[in-house]
C-alpha cells in the first residue's frame, strides 16, 4: 500500500490503481496480460462478465477522460493502458480544441466498449458519454448522407479527411453501428435510447444507404464500383493522400456491397447497384497471384508479386478511372503500371492488392436466390 501511496503523488490515485490492476494477468486461456492486447479486442472481445469487473471500470475511466468535448475520440490510442499525469493534462487541455475521427474504427470502438460496461454496471456516466458519442455521429453526417473521416472538418494538408470516406471502411463501420443500435443486441438495448433518438438514427442510416447509391461510379450507364473517398459536395471520386488518387477502389467497394446485400426487400435501385458492382469485379480480377517477401543483399525485405495458377484471385487496390486498369503510385502522385516501378517505401508500406472481393462473390448467388433474381 505504501508503494501505491507514493506512486499516487506522480500519477494520481486512479492512475496508480490502473497501473496496479491493468498490468495484472487476465484470466484468459492464453494467460495474455491486458496491456499486451489490442484496444479493439479489449473493447469488444473480452468475456462478457469482465465488463462488470473493477478492471473494466478502470479502463472506462480512461475512455471517459479521453472523450472529446464534441463527443468522439482520437484514433490508435491504447485506452486500456494507464495514463500518467502529464498525458492526462494533455487530454484535458485538448478536449475543446481538437476534433475526433472515425478512422481505424475510432469512436465506434469506444462507444461499443461503453455499451458493454454500462450494460453490466449501470454507471450513468457511461450512458451519458455514450449518448454524446451517438450525437456526435449524427452531427457529423452530411446532408447528402455521407460522413467525413474527421469532424469537425479540418483545413490544409489534411483537408481530404473532410471527404465522404469509405477508405478503411470508415462509413461502413458507422452504418453498421447505427444498424446495431436499432437491433435487439442486449448491450445496446440496455442504453434505452429514446424513440426520438431511434428515429434520428434510422433517418441517418437511410440517408447513408442513399449516399452509397448516389456515389457509385457509373460507366456507360452501368453502376460499377466506388472510390475510397468522394467529394462531400459534388460526390465525385476524390483524392486523399498523394498516392491515393481518384480511382475505382478494389477494396473499400466490397464493404459497401456487403452492406447493401443485407437490406431486406431491396429496391430495384439497390439490386441494380449490387448487380453492377459484382459484374465489375468479376471482370477486373488481376489474376492468381502470390504476394511474397524476399530478402535483399543488404538484409532489407522487399515485396514481390508472383503469378501462380494455384494461388487465389487478387484484385487491385486502385484502378484508373479512364482505363479501368490497376495502377500503383508513389508519393509523387504519378501512376505506374507495375509495383516494381514505385519506390521501396510505398511498395512495402501499403496494400496494393486485395482478396476482399471474394467475400462478395461468394455471397452473391445466395443473395440472388433470396431476392428471387435469376
Which residues are known catalytic residues? 104, 241
How far apart are alpha carbons 374 and 369 in whole angstroms?
Answer: 7
Quickly count: other Cβ atoms within 10 Å of residue 321's Cβ.
16
How far apart are alpha carbons 82 and 23 in whole angstroms?
Answer: 9
Burial of 366 (0-12, 13-18, 19+ CB in 10 A): exposed
Of 339, 164, 367, 143, nearest to 273 by C-alpha is: 367
Q: Which residues are CB-neighbours of 39 under 8 A, at least 6 positions away?
A: 77, 78, 79, 80, 109
Quickly count: other Cβ atoms within 10 Å of residue 296's Cβ.
9
Helix (H) or strand (E) holding 254: helix 252-261
8 Å CB contact between 42 and 58: no
Q: Taking the alpha carbons of 111, 241, 168, 344 in that order, is the dihedral positive or negative? A: negative
Amino acid at each position: 500500500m505504501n508503494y501505491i501511496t507514493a506512486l499516487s503523488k506522480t500519477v494520481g490515485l486512479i492512475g496508480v490503481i490502473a497501473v496496479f490492476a491493468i498490468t495484472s494477468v487476465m484470466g484468459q486461456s492464453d494467460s495474455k496480460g491486458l496491456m499486451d492486447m489490442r484496444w479493439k479486442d479489449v473493447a469488444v472481445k473480452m468475456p462478457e462478465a469482465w465488463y462488470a469487473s473493477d478492471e473494466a471500470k478502470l479502463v472506462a475511466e480512461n475512455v471517459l477522460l479521453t472523450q472529446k468535448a464534441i463527443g468522439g475520440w482520437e484514433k490508435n490510442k491504447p485506452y486500456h493502458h494507464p495514463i500518467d499525469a502529464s498525458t492526462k493534462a494533455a487530454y484535458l487541455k485538448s478536449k475543446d480544441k481538437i476534433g475526433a475521427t472515425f478512422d481505424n474504427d475510432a469512436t465506434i470502438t469506444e462507444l461499443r466498449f461503453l455499451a458493454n460496461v454500462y450494460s453490466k454496471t449501470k454507471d450513468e456516466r457511461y450512458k451519458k458519454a455514450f449518448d454524446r458519442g451517438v450525437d456526435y455521429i449524427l452531427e457529423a453526417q452530411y446532408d447528402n448522407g455521407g460522413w467525413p473521416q474527421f469532424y469537425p472538418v479540418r483545413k490544409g494538408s489534411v483537408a481530404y479527411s473532410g471527404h465522404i470516406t469509405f477508405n478503411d471502411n470508415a462509413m461502413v463501420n458507422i452504418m453498421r453501428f447505427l444498424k446495431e443500435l436499432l437491433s435487439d443486441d442486449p448491450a445496446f438495448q440496455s442504453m434505452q435510447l429514446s424513440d426520438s433518438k431511434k428515429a434520428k438514427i434510422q433517418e441517418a442510416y437511410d440517408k447513408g444507404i442513399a449516399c452509397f447509391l448516389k456515389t457509385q461510379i457509373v460507366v456507360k450507364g452501368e453502376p460499377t464500383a466506388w472510390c475510397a473517398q468522394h467529394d462531400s459536395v459534388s460526390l465525385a471520386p476524390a483524392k486523399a493522400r498523394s498516392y491515393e488518387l481518384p480511382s475505382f477502389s478494389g477494396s473499400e467497394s466490397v464493404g459497401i456491397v456487403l452492406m447493401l446485400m443485407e437490406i431486406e426487400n431491396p429496391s430495384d435501385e439497390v439490386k441494380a447497384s449490387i448487380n453492377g458492382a459484382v459484374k465489375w469485379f468479376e471482370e477486373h480480377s488481376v489474376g492468381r497471384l502470390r504476394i511474397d517477401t524476399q530478402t535483399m543483399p543488404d538484409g532489407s525485405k522487399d515485396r514481390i508479386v508472383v503469378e501462380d495458377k494455384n494461388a487465389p484471385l487478387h484484385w487491385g487496390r486502385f484502378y484508373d478511372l479512364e482505363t479501368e486498369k490497376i495502377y500503383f503510385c508513389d508519393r509523387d502522385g504519378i501512376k505506374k503500371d507495375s509495383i516494381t516501378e514505385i519506390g521501396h517505401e510505398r511498395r512495402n508500406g501499403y496494400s496494393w492488392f486485395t482478396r476482399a472481393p471474394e467475400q462478395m462473390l461468394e455471397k452473391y448467388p445466395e443473395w440472388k436466390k433470396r431476392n428471387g433474381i435469376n
